[in-house]
Amino acid sequence: MAILVLGGAGYIGSHTVYELLDAGRDVVVADNLVTGFRAAVPSQARFYQADIRDRAAMDRLFETEQIDGVIHFAAFSQVGESMTDPLKYYDNNLHGTMVLLQSMTDHGVDKIVFSSTAATYGEPEQIPILETDAATPTNCYGETKLAMEHMMSWTSRAHGLRYVALRYFNACGAHPGGAIGEAHDPETHLIPLILQVPGGKREKVFIFGDDYPTRDGTCVRDYIHVTDLAQAHILALDYLLRGGENNVFNLGNGVGFTVKEVIDTARRVTGHPIPAEVCERRAGDPAQLVASSEKAKSVLGWKPRYDDLSTIISSAWQWHSTHPNGYGG
């Protein structure tokens, strides 16, 4: 029996494929390659170029392969774009997931682990954030991810599907082996943008606001290594395979760093001065997002290994300095 990884050519998906293969699992990857990269998928995984919105393609997959469980990363994930083009997000994230669940239900595949996000919480009511806190997204991306969670829940009641939603905080870093890493176009995330400065691709980094109510005025985020996220997916799938109930887990380190602290750490790691300039706040950024991941630790037995920001940034730098154009060389 195989594990189907949808969106397995993307950033977090490809890292999960590597961890699954390392754990000796039989892995099938499907990706439409709109934002993913064929080169990110190792040859030991069986690859299908397919879109989750394509019902015939999903049916063919479940008819060709013996799928024990699904890990679903196939979604758009840019907050800013979701505000200017919300229907693109409803189409891929919600309509796509609906088609996928229809096909899974019809083929008797009843276990799914999927990417959710800290963006489901919106402006947090307390720090650290617990899974039981109010979920009131402030952007369309978070709204579609929360709606995906609800879709799973109703499908579970009607058809016996079992699911785990993993609410990631700030995914970062790269595979320690150096073969895969983060490659977005356009890049919007803080750590890869910072590393473009020592990489010679930009002159300085912009700090989006320094008047937040935080220790140095810049936003605080909980940075979690992509390999730790990948491990959590495997643990969540095994939890479902053991008969675990539907569940939602936060995934973060539980430690917050300001934007200025991240830049300072990158300066130390790379040995480059990395000039930074403060500009206006970015619309929709909460001041602080820090997870409580106690539930993932106690229920799934998850233990993040990369809890040190320097190590996380070093792994990202190893990737970006050797792949200045991502998978393009």
Active-site amino acid positions:
141
Helices (H), ranges, 90-139:
96-106
* 3-state secondary structure at position 189: coil
Residue with tokens 């750590």: 191
Give the shortest CB-207-to-ligand UFG separation in angstroms: 5
Q: How far apart are CA 125 and CA 21, in angstroms?
A: 39
Give yes or no for residue 316 binding ligand UFG (CB under 6 A). Answer: no
H or E element that contains 19: helix 11-22
Contact pattern from residue 146 through residue 175 relative to ligand UFG, giving x for each residue in contact according to CB under 6 A and a dash for the rest: ------------------------x-----
Contact string (CB under 6 A) for ligand UFG, positions 210-229, x = contact: ---------x-x--------
Nearer to ligand UFG, 66 or 188 (CB): 188
Name which of 69 and 326 has its Cβ closer to ligand UFG: 326
Residue 16, C-beta contacts closer than 8 angstroms, at least 6 positions apart: 5, 8, 71, 73, 229, 230, 233, 234
Q: Which stretch binds ligand UFG (CB under 6 A): 21-29, 195-203, 227-235, 282-290?
A: 282-290
Nearest to 190 by CA among 272, 273, 276, 248: 276
Backbone dihedral angles phi then psi of residue 247, each to the nearest 5 degrees:
-155, 160
Taking the complex as a whole, how short is the minimal distance between the CB of residue 147 and ligand UFG, in angstroms? 14
* CA–CA dist 75, 79 (Å, integer): 12
Chosen residue from 193, 241, 255, 299 binding ligand UFG by CB under 6 A: 193
Under the criterion CB under 6 A, does residue 11 sit at the interface with ligand UFG?
A: no
**Nearest residue to ligand UFG on Cβ basis:** 219
Residues of this chain that interact with ligand UFG (CB under 6 A) are 77, 79, 117-119, 141-142, 170, 188-190, 193, 205-208, 219, 221, 259, 282, 285, 289
